[in-house]
């Protein structure tokens, strides 16, 4: 009979798990057994290995904790906790952390410690970055921090931080595999190039939004002069690495930091699309300068929590865009903490993150895969006919059509009534690695409008893709659902779809509509719903179809 032993401390008790097929849990206090419980190990297998994992990032601006559960290769987020500590602001000219800054950090760690009590040490990773790399009294902070958390804390190098950031992006962010990744932290900025999961260049630069705040915006003035000084200093630090980064090349630029998230939130609040460009950054800079003072900085979409370090982070990002000649940037789905989690799990990065996300959601909500694939094939068939003539070929549209088709019946997991409302709610609130925030919102809007009267407002207000393409996806999805209602492949006729400006013309086999009265009725209703919002839909029949 095999035995397993697990010993850990909880407050002032020592708990010993002595596990066999029928074993005992013994609680010891001051060398005296105070409690013993008989357990059945077969019924308590979770005691041998927890499915919980935690990653903590002791950053220069904020401390972050991510707690997840691993379920058959799928990572489910249980908690994300963030506290502004601004550790870098506590460094003096001799690089010693002030007592006040350390106290702020330790107070945050006490909060985190409550979440770690039942997670095995080998499934917890705690790393410290730029400020604690620099602080001469870092050992004092780390020692007390380890006493609080009862887990080891590692100070990682800038290159290791960059590598972990890249891994976090590779596991959570969709789009092209050849990427440039940028993370502006409180005390350092990491820039990485790579393809799929393999990095090619790792650069860690000694500049961050907190240190730049203290150097160039210490007077809290937001002037052209302050920004110029901050940008010039950033240019000097980036320039030595710029040529080798540009030489590597990239197909997509991804940003992974609070500064970049704040910029995207501002753009979305202003009704812009999610792509960050240098022109948009310059507009934000003008808006900041107009405010005059940091305390008076008010931009729609910018939270009070982010406002303090926003101008300094913005200045750094403007310099990076200019030096590296970046066309546009999108927001990453994960970074350092996700990199730590996936390193512990040792899960391979998937070639198609979006496909894995869709499959996991389908499994979780027991979606009928055959029906989802049936709808997907028909929407793709419709789209392939239109993109040849009228609509341009667009990979993003393909991906969004696949997502909407795969999940269009997710609302049935709640009930068959109000299925579109349930689908909209679920997609709006699910974690969907590989999809950006605006793409997820568009998917939710498409599913809300998959049947019934069409609510045009959200389709017009979305900013993931141009409005005419969002309307196209909605129309194709609705038509595909009508023709697949019998849930059999052999009931779908040969169809041809073409477009004449806003008008869609659907051609069917001769007399097919007369032989399928239910589908005919549904199509007549669909013509009415689409015409109500000036989307003309015409039906025609012919004897022989050519594709």
Q: What is the CB neighbour count within 10 angstroms for residue 20?
A: 12
Tell which residue, 396, 376, 394, 375, has the closest CA to residue 386: 394
The yes-or-no answer to whether 158-341 and 353-542 have a common fold is: no
Would you place residue 72 in the very low, low, confident or very high pLDDT band (cuts 50, 70, 90)? confident
pLDDT attached to residue 544 = 57
160-207 pLDDT, tens digit per residue, is 999 999 999 999 998 788 999 999 999 999 999 999 889 999 999 999
74-90 pLDDT, tens digit per residue, is 888 999 999 999 999 99
pLDDT attached to residue 305 = 84
The mean pLDDT value for 517-546 works out to: 89
CA distance 165 to 182: 9
466-509 pLDDT, tens digit per residue, is 899 999 999 999 999 999 999 999 999 999 999 998 999 999 99
CA distance 266 to 253: 19
256-303 pLDDT, tens digit per residue, is 988 899 999 999 888 888 899 999 999 999 999 999 999 999 999 998
Would you place residue 390 in the very low, low, confident or very high pLDDT band (cuts 50, 70, 90)? low
pLDDT attached to residue 392 = 60
Tell me whether residue 261 is exposed, middle or buried, using C-beta atoms within 10 angstroms of its C-beta: 0 to 12, 13 to 18, 19 or more.
middle
pLDDT attached to residue 45 = 39
Tell which residue, 204, 202, 129, has the closest CA to residue 166: 202
pLDDT attached to residue 492 = 94
Q: Which CATH number fits domain 158-341: 3.30.450.20, 3.40.50.150, 3.30.420.150, 2.60.120.680?
A: 3.30.420.150
55 φ/ψ sector (left φ>0, alpha ψ -120 to 50, else beta): beta
* Torsion sign across C-alpha atoms 247, 248, 253, 256: negative
Give the bridge partners for 506, in sequence order. Answer: 497, 539
CA distance 261 to 256: 7
Would you place residue 155 in the very low, low, confident or very high pLDDT band (cuts 50, 70, 90)? very high
Q: Which CATH number fits domain 52-156: 3.40.630.30, 3.40.50.1820, 3.30.420.40, 3.40.250.10?
A: 3.30.420.40
118-146 pLDDT, tens digit per residue, is 899 999 999 999 999 999 999 999 999 99
**Does the structure show a pLDDT above 70 at 159?**
yes
**Does the structure show a pLDDT above 50 at 43?**
no
pLDDT attached to residue 389 = 62
pLDDT attached to residue 73 = 76
402-439 pLDDT, tens digit per residue, is 999 999 999 999 999 899 999 999 999 999 988 999 99
pLDDT attached to residue 257 = 86
441-473 pLDDT, tens digit per residue, is 999 999 999 999 999 999 999 989 989 999 999
Percent of the chain with pLDDT over 90: 76
CA distance 504 to 288: 46
Q: Identify the CATH class of 353-542.
A: mainly alpha
pLDDT attached to residue 313 = 96
Domain ranges of the chain: 4-47, 52-156, 158-341, 353-542
**Does the structure show a pLDDT above 80 at 21?**
no
* Helix-then-strand count for the chain, H and E: 20, 17
Count how many Cα atoms sit within 13 Å of the Cα of residue 412 in the half-sphere of its side chain.
Answer: 9
The mean pLDDT value for 100-110 works out to: 97
**350 vs 106 pLDDT, higher one:** 106
């Amino acid at each position: 009979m095999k035995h397993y032993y697990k010993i850990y401390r909880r407050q002032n008790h020592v708990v010993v798990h002595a596990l066999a097929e029928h074993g005992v849990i013994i609680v010891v206090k001051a060398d005296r057994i105070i409690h013993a419980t008989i357990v059945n190990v077969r019924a308590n297998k979770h005691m041998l290995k927890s499915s919980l994992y935690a990653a903590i990032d002791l950053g220069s601006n904020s401390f972050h904790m991510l707690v997840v559960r691993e379920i058959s290769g799928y990572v489910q987020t249980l908690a994300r906790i963030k506290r502004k500590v601004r550790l870098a602001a506590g460094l003096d000219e001799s690089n010693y952390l002030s007592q006040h800054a350390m106290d702020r950090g330790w107070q945050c760690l006490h909060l985190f410690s409550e979440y770690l009590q039942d997670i095995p040490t080998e499934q917890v990773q705690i790393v410290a970055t730029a400020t604690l790399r620099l602080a001469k009294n870092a050992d004092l902070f780390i020692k007390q921090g380890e006493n609080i958390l009862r887990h080891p804390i590692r100070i990682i190098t800038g290159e290791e931080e960059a590598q972990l950031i890249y891994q976090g992006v590779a596991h959570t962010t969709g789009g092209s595999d050849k990427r440039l990744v940028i993370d502006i932290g409180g005390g350092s900025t990491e820039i990485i190039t790579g393809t799929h999961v393999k990095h090619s260049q790792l650069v860690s630069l000694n500049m961050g939004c907190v240190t730049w705040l203290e150097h160039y915006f210490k007077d809290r003035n937001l002037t052209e002069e302050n920004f110029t000084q901050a940008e010039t200093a950033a240019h000097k630090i980036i320039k030595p690495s710029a040529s080798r980064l540009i030489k590597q090349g990239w197909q997509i630029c991804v940003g992974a930091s609070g500064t970049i998230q704040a910029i995207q939130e501002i753009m979305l609040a202003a009704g812009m699309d999610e792509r960050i460009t240098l022109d948009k950054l310059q507009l934000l800079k003008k808006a900041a300068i107009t405010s005059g003072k940091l305390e008076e900085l008010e931009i729609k979409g910018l939270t009070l929590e982010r406002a303090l370090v926003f101008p300094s982070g913005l200045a750094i990002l403007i310099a990076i865009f200019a030096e590296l000649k970046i066309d546009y940037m999108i927001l990453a789905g994960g970074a350092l903490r996700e990199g730590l989690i996936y390193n512990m799990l040792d899960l391979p990065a998937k070639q198609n993150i979006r496909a894995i996300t869709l499959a996991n959601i389908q499994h979780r909500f027991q979606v009928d895969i055959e029906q989802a694939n049936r709808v997907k094939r028909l929407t793709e068939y419709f789209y392939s006919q239109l993109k040849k003539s009228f609509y341009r070929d667009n990979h993003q549209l393909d991906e969004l059509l696949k997502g909407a088709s795969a999940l269009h019946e997710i609302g049935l997991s709640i009930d068959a009534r109000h299925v579109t409302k349930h689908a909209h709610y679920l997609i709006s609130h699910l974690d969907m690695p590989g999809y950006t925030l605006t793409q997820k919102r568009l998917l939710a809007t498409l599913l809300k409008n998959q049947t019934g009267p069409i609510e045009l407002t959200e389709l017009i207000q979305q900013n993931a893709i141009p409005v005419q393409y969002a309307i196209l996806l909605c129309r194709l999805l609705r038509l595909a659902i009508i023709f697949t209602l019998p849930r059999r492949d052999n009931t779908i006729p040969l169809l041809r779809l073409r477009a004449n400006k806003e008008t869609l013309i659907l051609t069917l086999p001769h007399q097919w509509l007369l032989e399928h009265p239910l589908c005919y009725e549904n199509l007549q209703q669909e013509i009415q719903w689409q015409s109500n919002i000036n989307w003309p839909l015409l039906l025609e029949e012919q004897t022989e179809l050519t594709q």
